[in-house]
Chain A
Amino acid sequence: MSAPGRGRKAEWLVTMPSFAWLLVFFAAPSLIVLAFTFHGHTANGGVGEWSLSTWRELVDPDYPTIVWKTIRISFEVTVWSILLALPCAYAAARMTKRWRALVAGAIMLPFWTSFVVRVFAWKTMLHPDGWLQTCYHAWLHFKCWLYAWIPGVGVPAWAHGGTGDCLIGVAGCAIDAASTTMIDSELAVVLVSVYSFLPFAIMPMYTAAEKFDFSLLEAARDLGAKNFYAFRKIFIPGIWQGIVSAVLMVFIPAVGSYVIPQMLGGTECVLIGNKIFMRAIQNRNIPHASALAVLMAVSVLVPLAAAMWWKRRQTLRDRRRLEVRTAQLMTGGGEAQR
Chain B
Amino acid sequence: MKDDFLVFDHVTKRFGALTAVDDVSLTIKRGEFFSLLGPSGCGKTTLLRMLGGFEKPDSGRIYLEGKDITDLPPNQRRVHTVFQNYALFPTMTIWDNIAFSLKLAKRPKDEVEEKVDAILDMIQMSEHAWKYPNQLSGGQKQRVAIARALVDRPQVLLLDEPLAALDLKLRQHMLIELDTIHDQVGITFMYVTHDQGEAMSLSDRIAVINRGNVEQLDVPAKIYEAPASRFVASFIGDTNFFSGTIASVEGDYCTIQTEGGFPAISAYNDRNLAVGQKVDLSVRPEKIRVTINPPPPEKGAGINVFPSKVQDIVYQGVYTRYWLKSSGLRVAALKPHSRFLLDQEPITWNDDVFVWWHPDDGYMVEVK
Is B93 an interface position by the 8 A CB rule?
yes
Q: Establish whether residues B80 and A334, one from each chain, have CB atoms under 8 Å apart when the complex forms.
A: no
Which single residue of chain A is at the shortest CB-CB distance from B79? A222
A333 to B129, CA, bound (A): 12
List, in ascending order, chain B residues with CB within 8 A of A229's CB. 104
Which single residue of chain B is at the shortest CB-CB distance from A330? B127
Q: Establish whether residues A325 and B100, one from each chain, have CB atoms under 8 Å apart when the complex forms.
A: no
Q: A303 → chain B, closest Cβ, in Å? A: 25
Q: Mark A220-252, 1 if CB is under 8 A from B, else 0.
A: 111111100100001001101000000000000
Q: Mark B137-158, 1 if CB is under 8 A from A, else 0.
A: 0000000000011001000000
Q: Establish whether residues B126 and A216, one from each chain, have CB atoms under 8 Å apart when the complex forms.
A: no
Is B275 an interface position by the 8 A CB rule?
no
Is A338 an interface position by the 8 A CB rule?
yes
A222 to B169, CA, bound (A): 30
List, in ascending order, chain B residues with CB within 8 A of A322's CB. 93, 130
Q: Establish whether residues A329 and B129, one from each chain, have CB atoms under 8 Å apart when the complex forms.
A: yes
- If A216-B87, A229-B104, A322-B93 touch, whether A334 touches B130 (CB-CB below 8 Å) is no
Interface residues on A, range: 20 to 34
Q: Which B69-123 residues have a C-beta within 8 angstroms of A?
A: 73-75, 79-81, 83, 85, 87, 89-91, 93, 100-101, 104-105, 113-114, 117-118, 121
List, in ascending order, chain A residues with CB within 8 A of B75's CB. 221-226
List, in ascending order, chain A residues with CB within 8 A of B117's CB. 329, 333-334
Is B54 an interface position by the 8 A CB rule?
yes
**When the two chains form the complex, which single residue of A221, A237, A326, A338 contacts B127, counting CB atoms closer than 8 Å?**
A326
A221 to B113, CA, bound (A): 22
A219 to B152, CA, bound (A): 15
Q: Establish whether residues A334 and B121, one from each chain, have CB atoms under 8 Å apart when the complex forms.
A: yes
Q: A186 → chain B, closest Cβ, in Å? A: 37
Q: B82 → chain A, closest Cβ, in Å? A: 9
Q: Establish whether residues A225 and B104, one from each chain, have CB atoms under 8 Å apart when the complex forms.
A: yes
Q: B122 → chain A, closest Cβ, in Å? A: 12
- If A213-B85, A213-B87, A326-B129 touch, whether A222 touches B114 (CB-CB below 8 Å) is no
Is B220 an interface position by the 8 A CB rule?
no
Q: Which B146-177 residues have a C-beta within 8 angstroms of A?
A: 148-149, 152
List, in ascending order, chain A residues with CB within 8 A of B362's CB. none
Which single residue of chain B is at the shortest CB-CB distance from A216? B87
**When the two chains form the complex, which single residue of A213, A224, A326, A334 contacts B105, counting CB atoms closer than 8 Å?**
A224
Q: Establish whether residues B127 and A240, one from each chain, have CB atoms under 8 Å apart when the complex forms.
A: no
Q: Establish whether residues A223 and B101, one from each chain, have CB atoms under 8 Å apart when the complex forms.
A: yes
A237 to B96, CA, bound (A): 14
List, in ascending order, chain B residues with CB within 8 A of A333's CB. 117, 121, 126
Is B52 an interface position by the 8 A CB rule?
yes
Q: Mark A307-338, 1 if CB is under 8 A from B, else 0.
A: 00000000000000011011001100110001
Is A49 an interface position by the 8 A CB rule?
no
Is A218 an interface position by the 8 A CB rule?
yes
List, in ascending order, chain A residues with CB within 8 A of B87's CB. 213, 215-216, 218-219
List, in ascending order, chain B residues with CB within 8 A of A215's CB. 83, 85, 87
Q: Mark B213-241, 1 if CB is under 8 A from A, else 0.
A: 00000000000000000000000000000
Q: Mark B38-74, 1 if CB is under 8 A from A, else 0.
A: 0000000000000011100000000000000000011
Q: Establish whether residues B80 and A222, one from each chain, have CB atoms under 8 Å apart when the complex forms.
A: yes
List, in ascending order, chain A residues with CB within 8 A of B149's CB. 222-223
Among B73, B75, B90, B148, which residue has the most Cβ atoms of chain A within 10 A?
B75
Q: Establish whether residues A240 and B91, one from each chain, have CB atoms under 8 Å apart when the complex forms.
A: yes
Which single residue of chain B is at the shortest CB-CB distance from A236? B91
Q: B98 → chain A, closest Cβ, in Å? A: 10
A229 to B75, CA, bound (A): 11
A329 to B113, CA, bound (A): 12
List, in ascending order, chain A residues with CB within 8 A of B53's CB. 221-222
Q: A96 → chain B, closest Cβ, in Å? A: 14
**When the two chains form the complex, which single residue of A224, A238, A325 contacts B101, counting CB atoms closer than 8 Å?**
A224
Q: A229 → chain B, closest Cβ, in Å? A: 7
Q: B180 → chain A, closest Cβ, in Å? A: 21
List, in ascending order, chain A residues with CB within 8 A of B100's CB. 220, 223, 225
Q: Establish whether residues B81 and A219, one from each chain, have CB atoms under 8 Å apart when the complex forms.
A: yes
Q: B228 → chain A, closest Cβ, in Å? A: 33
**When the two chains form the complex, which single residue of A221, A238, A330, A334 contacts B90, counting CB atoms closer than 8 Å?**
A238
List, in ascending order, chain A residues with CB within 8 A of B79's CB. 222
- Contacts A223-B148, A334-B113 aside, 19 further interface pairs with beta carbons under 8 A come to A216-B89, A218-B83, A218-B87, A221-B74, A221-B75, A222-B80, A222-B81, A223-B100, A223-B101, A224-B101, A238-B90, A240-B91, A322-B93, A326-B130, A329-B126, A329-B129, A334-B117, A334-B118, A334-B121
9 contacts between A and B (CB under 8 A): A216-B90, A219-B81, A222-B81, A223-B80, A225-B104, A238-B90, A325-B129, A326-B127, A330-B126
